[in-house]
Amino acid sequence: MTAPAERGTTTVSERAVRRIAEQAATETLPRRGASRAAGATASVHGGRAEFSLGMTLPYPAPLADTVRDVQRHVTARTGQLTGLDVTSTRITVTSLAALRGPVSPAPRSDEGRTPRRWWSQRRVPVAVLTATAAAACGALAFDMVQVHTSHRAVAPWRVRAVDWLSGHGPGDPAVVAVGALTALLGAWLILLAVTPGRRHQSTVAASTARVDAAVDRSAVRSLVRDSVADVPGTGAVRVRVRRRRVSVRAGLRFGDRANTRDAVASAAGTALTACDLRRVPRLRVTVVPEPVWGPPLHPVREAPRGHTPDRPVPMSARTPEGDM
């Protein structure tokens, strides 16, 4: 028999919330063929829901405005269909897909705030540390309970540990090494706690306070590389994207080196501006001539055919012998 409190209650599973969020995300994208949502995770706690989406967005397009529109629609649509209160919606841009047609930039509002840098949850270090501490404390507690309640002998590993500690003082090399490793482990954990992590992502400047978006640096690298590759005269292109600097190295196959460098810098700068990053990195452009490159030949103005310029005929200074 069903309990009275559970009659008439509809429970929405996390899988259903994830599917609804993925479908809602694709409804607001400008071109479904070049955009898709994948890697969604959802968690439901009572009447609240939280989820995150990994998306492939089109470019060239205003990235921050697109993410904002997707987040708004996904939050409203998921709450409407499930009846849950969506408290957190995180969207991560995993890659970019090129569009065939031109995309007009959307107007940007002055209201809003610049999102802060995302902080990593450090799940792997926390899980390893928690599992190790739980195993050690659990084994010690279990042995102590057996000794005091069942009056059994102390476990051999405890006896060996006590004997080893009693035979090694503070100046022993083994004790110093263990202490140094413990100190390094503690310093590493403190470093993880005070640093944000997620160095492979860059936050995007948003126009509203509720939008918190980030883009993978690999997507920015692909966008800059494709934009530079479209510059006439360029060959192989290598791009490195860091937090404060973007380095572009392009090979030159033909054309003027200075003009090509200016065109490469303009294309890379336009691509970075389209990403609308929170912190615009400095751009460093290097154009290296390839073995097939040669300096451009400047045409020389030639005289018309059939025309011989008038030149003075040199007179001989020699005087004939008969003329005196």
Residue 100 vs residues 31, 59, 60, 107: alpha-carbon distances, Å: 10, 9, 10, 22
Structure tokens at 45: 């706690």
In order along its 324 residues, the chain shows pLDDT tens digits of: 455 555 556 677 878 888 888 787 777 765 544 556 666 777 887 788 887 877 777 766 677 777 788 888 888 888 888 888 888 787 777 777 766 554 444 455 444 555 566 777 788 888 999 999 999 999 999 989 988 888 888 888 888 888 888 888 788 888 889 889 999 999 998 988 888 777 777 777 766 656 677 788 888 888 889 888 888 888 889 999 888 889 999 998 888 888 889 999 999 888 888 887 878 888 999 988 888 877 777 654 444 555 444 444 444 444 444 444
Whether 110 is covered by a domain: the verdict is no
Instruction: Indicate whether 322 belongs to any domain.
Output: no
For residue 85, the domain's CATH number is 3.30.300.20
Residue 255 lies in a domain: yes
The enclosing domain of 225 has a CATH number of 3.30.70.1350
Answer whether residue 308 is part of any domain. Answer: no
Helix 217-229 / helix 257-275 crossing angle, nearest 10 deg = 140
Domain count, the chain: 3
> Which domain covers residue 85, as residue numbers?
12-98
pLDDT at 169: 78
User: Would you state the pLDDT for residue 316?
Assistant: 47
pLDDT the model gives residue 303: 47
Same domain, 73 and 41: yes
Kindly report the pTM of this predicted structure.
0.49
Residue 150, classed as helix, strand or coil, is coil
pLDDT at 324: 42
Measured between alpha carbons, how far is 107 from 114 in angstroms, rounded to an integer?
17
* pLDDT score, position 123: 86
Last residue of a domain, one of 146, 165, 194: 194
At 284 the pLDDT is: 92
Are residue 134 and residue 88 in the same domain, yes or no? no
